Amino acid sequence: MEESIVASDEEYLTEEEEQPEQRGIKRKHEDDEDDEREQINQDDEQEGGTQSTSHDNSIVVANHYNKLQEKGLAERFNSKIFYLRNFNNWIKSMLISDYLEKIKDSMQHGSPLRVLDMCCGKGGDLLKWHKGRITYLICTDIAEISIEQCRARYEKITANDPPERKSFQAEFFTADSTRDRLRERYIDPSIELNLVSCQFAFHYCFESPKQAEQMLKNVSECLKIGGYFIGTIPDAKDIMKRQRAAQSDSFGNDVFNIKFLSDPDDLPIFGAKYNFHLDGVVDCPEFLVYFPAFVKLAKRYNLKLIENVRFEDYFQMKIGKGRGLIEKMQAAERFSLNGNRNLSRSNEEEYKHAKDFLLQKGGYENRRKCGTLSASEWEAASLYMTFAFQKVKGPIE
Ligand SMILES: C[S@@+](CC[C@H](N)C(=O)[O-])C[C@H]1O[C@@H](n2cnc3c(N)ncnc32)[C@H](O)[C@@H]1O
């Protein structure tokens, strides 16, 4: 691949300032500094009345992920979101390797490196942990079948290791990270973790303040001082921006759709619910993560925000280092000015940004080929952001 682009800047600008479309979720937060605390209290009081509905949601999510079939390579290749999934996987690879490096740089050579993969699913990140040469991994997820598949995948990856000297040891259990205390389920509850990773899943805890608190308690409880909490979530600000632009409760394209189940003009900080549909992979309720509330809550658990970066910016930041991996992971599709017989989409509009990019570049760099995502896939990829927190000793200002 000569050059990797996914979209031109003009088409997918991020705006730094808070946009009016944020007001729906912001208003309540601004009204009262202790708003989240109030919501927690209300939650406690109403527990009997609201719990069943709330649990129903977790059951829907668990059932949804349990039902997802493992797809073969051919089926995955023919999916409309083949490159999008690989691109998301590349982002995770870069994020994970970045923080594993930071951890290794700060610890004594030969010290154990222990990781919690919270909401691990079928173990999509197991190879990353293997390549990252960690010592110990805890895998947990609400979906029992996913955990079984994750364990099986781990056995496969480590099958050639001598049993007494596996490349890394691991434990697996089913739990609701938003309700259960994970520590009580660990083989060693006194374990000290270097890294907690929660990929494409933290948003499920924003159903209620109580669930968000439990999730963050689970993150922080066994994390060493100096250890990191990393993840990927939908960017609520961007979702609101798109909802406002669409002037509809439902928007998307042929690969994804978001349908608001809460009133977009009067969103609560917790429980702002929408249904997310992603072609053949996701179709279940999710919750907007109002980021300032996330940061504020995290502080209570001594987790200090290090960075939060939208995927499109993260791509720009990491492409220098991760170009080779993009190609290896097939995280972008080859587009050429000389003809494109093998593109996944026949609609030329899907690659207009790549063509414009090359025509513009070609003038002075003579580039004829680049790597890209179709416009529809990019619209879905650019819904997301990465985040990283560090566990610190004292209270955070
Ligand atoms: C989109 S998948 C991501 C899986 C994995 N982290 C990855 O990146 O491949 C979201 C995962 O979150 C899990 N999940 C959702 N709610 C959960 C909860 N309350 N507790 C634990 N896991 C949960 C789902 O079962 C699912 O496996």
Instruction: Work out the pLDDT band at 185, boundaries 50, 70, 90.
Output: very high
- Of all protein residues, the one whose alpha carbon is nearest to atom 18 of ligand 1 is 176
Is 176 part of any known ligand binding site? yes
- As a whole number, the mean pLDDT across the chain is 86
Query: How confident is the model over 38-48, as pLDDT tens digits?
Result: 444 444 444 33
Q: Residue 10: is its pLDDT beyond 50?
A: no
Ligand 1 centroid to 139 CA: how many Å? Answer: 11
Q: Which ligand 1 atom lies nearest to the CA of residue 282?
A: 1
Query: How confident is the model over 330-342, as pLDDT tens digits?
Result: 999 988 888 777 8
- What per-residue confidence (pLDDT) applies to 282? 85
Q: Which ligand 1 atom lies nearest to the CA of residue 205?
A: 19
Is 364 part of any known ligand binding site? no
Rounded distance between C-alpha atoms, residue 7 and residue 156, angstroms: 37
Ligand 1 centroid to 211 CA: how many Å? Answer: 14
Ligand 1 centroid to 200 CA: how many Å? Answer: 7
**Domain ranges across the chain:** 81-235+249-316+385-391
Return the structure tokens found at 32.
């009262």
Tell which one of 137, 141, 207 to mutate to probe ligand 1, the residue whose CB is within 8 A of the most ligand atoms.
Answer: 141
- Of all protein residues, the one whose alpha carbon is nearest to atom 10 of ligand 1 is 201
Residue type at position 250: S
Kindly report the pTM of this predicted structure: 0.87
Is 26 part of any known ligand binding site? no
Q: Which ligand 1 atom lies nearest to the CA of residue 121?
A: 27
Ligand 1 centroid to 141 CA: how many Å? Answer: 6
Closest Cα partner for 386 from 58, 109, 97, 178? 97
Q: Which ligand 1 atom lies nearest to the CA of residue 119?
A: 22
Residues near 49 by beta carbon (within 8 Å), at least 6 away in sequence: none
Query: How confident is the model over 247-301, as pLDDT tens digits?
Result: 999 999 999 999 999 999 999 999 999 999 998 788 999 999 999 999 999 999 9
Ligand 1 centroid to 389 CA: how many Å? Answer: 19
Q: Residue 112: is its pLDDT beyond 90?
A: yes
Ligand 1 centroid to 315 CA: how many Å? Answer: 23
**ipTM exceeding the 0.95 mark:** yes
Is 204 part of any known ligand binding site? yes
Rounded distance between C-alpha atoms, residue 367 and residue 315, angstroms: 20
- What per-residue confidence (pLDDT) applies to 34? 47
Ligand 1 centroid to 284 CA: how many Å? Answer: 11
- Of all protein residues, the one whose alpha carbon is nearest to atom 8 of ligand 1 is 199
The percent of residues above 70 in pLDDT, for the chain, comes to 83
Instruction: Work out the pLDDT band at 54, boundaries 50, 70, 90.
Output: low
The top-level CATH class assigned to 81-235+249-316+385-391 is alpha beta
- Contact, 228 vs 388, CB < 8 A? yes
Is 257 part of any known ligand binding site? no
Q: Which residues line ligand 1 (CB under 6 A)?
A: 58, 61-62, 65, 119-121, 124, 141-143, 146, 176-178, 199-201, 204
Q: Which ligand 1 atom lies nearest to the CA of residue 178?
A: 19
Is 32 part of any known ligand binding site? no
